Amino acid sequence: MDRPKVKGWSYPKSIDQFPMGSTCKSDHLTSINAGWRTVKPVIDQEVCINCLKCFLVCPDGAIDKSSKELEIDYDFCKGCGICAFECPVNAIKMIEEVK
């Protein structure tokens, strides 16, 4: 999986540690989005025909195609269900998240 990762970050402890204005390095994620999900997509690799439609339509880029089998970055998938809706062979099931 090749996806940006959450970077370490600690809040400034004193005023002189704050930057001038709210600027920061790019590629600077400080929190994940997994908690937004009520359902999560699970790919049935047996059914998948590797058409990559799900990779194409995900607004969050959470589906990674760099390995032989597709991988979902559950840190950043929001469970919107577009991938499952668009999959031509119904290889993706949306299953309820359990805490």
Partner 1 sequence: MLKLNAHTITNKEYFYGHKACGGCGESLALRHAMKILGENSFAALPAGCMAAVSFIYPNMAFTTNAMITPFAATASVASGIAAGLKALGIENTQTIGIAGDGGTADIGFQALSGAIDRNADIIFITTDNEAYMNTGIQKSGLTPYGTKTTTSPAGENLPGSITQKKNMFEIVAAHGITYAATASVGYIEDFLKKVQKAKDTKGTSYIQVFVPCPTGWGYPANETVSLAKAVVDSGLWYLAEYENGEFMLNKNPKEFTSAKDYLKKQSRFKHLNDADIEYIEEQRDKKWEIMRRKWNY
Contact set with partner 1 (CB under 8 A): 2-4, 6, 9, 22, 24-33, 36-37, 51-53, 55-61, 64-66, 76, 78-82, 84-86
Please give the Cα distance from 97 to 35 (Å, whole number): 10
Q: Does 78 bind ligand SF4 (CB under 6 A)?
A: yes
Residue 51: helix, strand or coil by DSSP? coil
Which of 71, 82, 93, 97 is in the footprint of ligand SF4 by CB under 6 A?
82
Please give the Cα distance from 13 to 76 (Å, whole number): 29
| CB 93 within 8 Å of CB 42 | yes
Q: Does 43 bind ligand SF4 (CB under 6 A)?
A: yes
Which of 3, 34, 60, 71 is in the footprint of ligand SF4 by CB under 6 A?
60
CA distances from 17 to 7, 20, 28, 98 (A): 18, 9, 18, 40
Task: Name the site residues for ligand SF4 (rule: CB under 6 A).
Answer: 41, 43, 48-54, 58, 60, 62-63, 70, 72, 77-83, 87, 89, 91-92
